[in-house]
Amino acid sequence: MPKQRDRILSYGGSITIVTLIGVWVLLLFIGFALVIWPGLGTAIQTSQGTTPTDFGTALYYTGFSLTTLGTGDLVPQTDGHRFLMVLQSLLGFSIFTLALSYVLAVYGALTSRNTFALKLHYRSAGSADSAELLRRLATGNDLNMLNQNLADIAQSLINILELNNSYPLLLYFRYRQPYYALARVIYLVMDTATLIKSTLNQDYYSSIIHSSNVAEVWHGGLHLLSELNHQILRKEKLSPQELNESFWQEHYYRALEQLQSEGIKTINDPKTGADIYISLRHRWATDLARLTAYTGYQPNQIYK
């Protein structure tokens, strides 16, 4: 269903979280009902009349115990079943509280991720162009401003890494707008770090290239890609363009021109810089291509 693909995939995360919580509750209901069932008519009796002994009645008893409704028409007669009813009420209250807390936490984490994605989107002038992003970060050859901007990006990236470790479900929230794509966020961050290491003047920007902020961005991005790819179980067919060194080289020289047009001090030997860029990009390009394919985006939605 190619015409409906984006719309259908946009429900993936929400459907997954509802299904997950539904399975939790369903298994809890069935498990307790199986425990209660043999006691119907003996350890558990109705307040009036004959006690039904079917599985539906066991589910009914379990339901009002777990939801703490306490209707009272089925009454436990033994100490063990009285304690079990109290336990069910405690677990029922806990599971609903935990489920609500989990949903709020997941959507809070998703908001943090989307906020970072929008910041990168606007900083790159909505172009998914890492060279444009770096040009804006390094404008005026201001080392302090560049370092501060990189610190902000590094902090947001590490935050996303930790949120993904805590809530792996975040991978399955996929938006129609490509600027929210996690693959695009990682591309902008990783390619910007790669361009910093390969395009900027090695003498003037030495303190930036070897700074802790660039190290956090680079290693944090690699770590995040590694964690995400552990969640991808199937093999993906990768686009040749994404792993094409000629395309990478063209992108590198175009980025170099953009930086030079802004008056930013660049590397003295562009050919060496291109070799460095290609070597570094090989370290993350394949994992990013797998993530792009798995989340259902086209390469031109992720890459400039």
DSSP-assigned beta bridge partners for residue 40:
44
pLDDT in the model for residue 243: 82
CA pair distance 88, 251, nearest whole angstrom: 61
What are the respective helix, strand and coil percentages of the chain, to the nearest 5?
75, 5, 25
The pLDDT tens digits of the residues spanning 267-276 come to 999 999 999 9
pLDDT in the model for residue 304: 67
DSSP-assigned beta bridge partners for residue 45:
75
For the chain, where are the E strands, in sequence order?
44-46, 74-76
CA pair distance 137, 131, nearest whole angstrom: 10
- Residue ranges in the chain modelled with pLDDT below 70: 1-2, 69-72, 240-241, 304
- Per DSSP, the three-state class of 67 is coil
pLDDT in the model for residue 284: 95
| The pair of three-digit structure tokens given for residue 41, joined into one six-digit string | 């008519």
The dihedrals phi and psi of 207, each to the nearest 5 degrees, come to -65, -25
CA dihedral of residues 155, 160, 166, 167 (deg, nearest 10):
160
Neighbours of 178 (CB within 10 A): 17
- Per DSSP, the three-state class of 74 is strand
C-alpha distances out from residue 15 to 46, 162, 213, Å = 39, 23, 37
The dihedrals phi and psi of 47, each to the nearest 5 degrees, come to -70, -25
User: For the chain, first and last CA: distance in Å?
Assistant: 27
pLDDT in the model for residue 241: 67
CA pair distance 37, 58, nearest whole angstrom: 5
Closest residue by Cα to residue 84 from 31, 133, 131, 16: 31
CA pair distance 29, 34, nearest whole angstrom: 9
pLDDT in the model for residue 273: 95
In angstroms, how far is CA 174 from the centroid of its own chain?
9
Q: In the Cβ-directed half-sphere of 115, how many Cα atoms lie within 13 Å?
A: 13
Neighbours of 160 (CB within 10 A): 23
What is the DSSP code (8-state) at residue 52? Answer: P
pLDDT in the model for residue 72: 65
pLDDT in the model for residue 5: 82
CA pair distance 77, 37, nearest whole angstrom: 14
DSSP-assigned beta bridge partners for residue 74:
46
pLDDT in the model for residue 69: 65
CA pair distance 96, 22, nearest whole angstrom: 11
The pLDDT tens digits of the residues spanning 235-248 come to 777 776 678 899 99
Closest residue by Cα to residue 64 from 99, 32, 41, 39: 32
Closest residue by Cα to residue 28 from 88, 102, 97: 88
